[in-house]
Amino acid sequence: MRSAAPGVRGAAGPGLRPRAASPRGRLLVLLTGLVSAAAYVALGVGRFQQGEAHSYDLGIFSQSAASWASGRLPTSGVLGGKRLLGDHFSPLTAVFGPVWALWPDPRSLLVAQGVLLGLGAALVARCAVRHLPPGVAAAVAVAVGTAHGALAAARFDVHEVCLAVPFLALSATALLERRQVAACWWSLPLLLVKEDLGATVAAVALVVFWQGRRRLGVLLAVGAVAGVALALGTMLAVSPAHDLTRLSTFSAAPAAGGVSTADRLLLVVTVVVGGGLVWVRSPLALLTVPTLAWRLVSHEPSYLSSTLHYDLVLVPVTGVALVDVLRRVPDRRGLLPGTAWGAAACSAVVTVVLLPPGGLLTAATTWRPAARVEALRTASDVIPTGAVVAADNSSGPYLLGRAGGGHDVRGWSVDQPLDGLPDWVVLATDRANLGMGAERTRAWLARTRDLPGVVVTQVGGTAVVHFTGDR
């Protein structure tokens, strides 16, 4: 066996060779995957049934999936017909196409995402079973299954980064076991998930280099750079007038209402403690640096949030890094199990603080549509199937797919000129939407309903506006 490369303490050594999984270990892996996937699916679908889904991003990815399913490159009416490969380089979202073809409903993507996250948890548990005693491996499974990053992503619509989770788990495990060629192959699909993950592939290359496979590390680094160049080139080719305003969030001069040093420190503490604290002692922790770095230099508050989906790609890496650290903890006087279950407790505590269990449990056990969803569907029954509809952020997803009438949904805001709107507009009058307070929405509706040729159907907090004449 090769010795560890200088500066990579613990990258190799006794206990590195995977042990054969016992029946108990295989059962742990299976249960971790099934229970985690069931929880993530229930949470995502439950939030949908509660009326908490959004056009940004469930509506966008639903329209993307519908495009792929029909053999077209992805576009989104919510984004004004934008070609999505010009917005983010995510060709791997093509896998959502067959899912949509089987069940053309936004909930199909929530199920697919939950299964992918469950698979990622199972792969980390498999890594733990291969390198740790069963009881200690169970602690890792609990830590990953309760990780706030996965639960936060599952409860907040669908995002392309869910596709990265299994590949990150497999690549990190291969690095742990010094199977560098496999680690490189498993990391390459990340280049097709999202353009920023090319930096994570470069981090894999760095670890491979430090482990002694220098030529392989350099080749992967070159591949990572080429992949990012291809991504950016494709984005500019697909959308020459690409909207790069999001880059302003990385400028040296933050806009008003940006983030503070305390916000950045809180993100780091959340990730470190939420991953089980001791995982940072593993060289595999380097794989988290690119994602944390671009978020920490940004002035966009949402990028530093740990209640959205941004921590998701860190979960499989911190899980495998935790295994790497635990396999080197001496198994005497209860130190190993104590450390492992302490890490699991850290993960659970951070999740409880960020995502109160009551809300998670309510969402995960919600099977019947909430009154708001029923009202929205009742009100929209007046819209002809397949019509072009402008809808606010909280209404759009419920008008997509067969269950929602299969409408061509566009984005809507109170600032749009009336002559640029389609004949149908659906909006919520009882809640805020993407910077539009409910008061502004109700004021727009009050002004609009008095215009000639306007018919308004109101059911509960949902209003359907039909323009029947000239505007």
For the record, the structure tokens of 202 come out as 């470069």
Q: Most confidently modeled of 7-11, 251-255, 396-400?
A: 396-400
Residue of higher predicted confidence among 18 and 394: 394
Question: In angstroms, rounded to a whole number, what is the distance separating the alpha carbons of residues 264 and 373?
Answer: 37
Sorted by sequence, the CB contacts under 8 Å of residue 30 that are 6+ apart come out as 122
Query: Which single residue is written with the structure tokens 């307070």?
Result: 437
Pairing of strands 388-391, 82-83: unpaired
pLDDT level of residue 243 (50, 70, 90 thresholds): low
CB 471 within 8 A of CB 419: yes
Would you state the pLDDT for residue 249? 64
Asked if residue 8 has pLDDT above 50, the reply is no
Would you state the pLDDT for residue 245? 56
What pLDDT digit, counting tens, does each position of 123-135 carry?
A: 999 999 999 999 9
pLDDT level of residue 253 (50, 70, 90 thresholds): low
Question: In angstroms, rounded to a whole number, what is the distance separating the alpha carbons of residues 222 and 200?
Answer: 13
What pLDDT digit, counting tens, does each position of 53-110 carry?
A: 999 999 999 999 999 999 999 999 999 999 999 989 999 999 999 999 999 999 999 9
Q: Enumerate the domain spans of the chain.
A: 23-241+248-363, 371-467
Per-chain mean pLDDT for the chain: 91
Percent pLDDT > 90 in the chain is: 81
Helix pair angle (164-176, 315-326), 10° resolution: 20
pLDDT level of residue 51 (50, 70, 90 thresholds): very high
| Torsion angle, alpha carbons of 236, 237, 243, 249, to 10 | -20
pTM of the model: 0.92
Would you state the pLDDT for residue 175? 97
Question: In angstroms, rounded to a whole number, what is the distance separating the alpha carbons of residues 385 and 51?
Answer: 21
Residue of higher predicted confidence among 470 and 258: 470
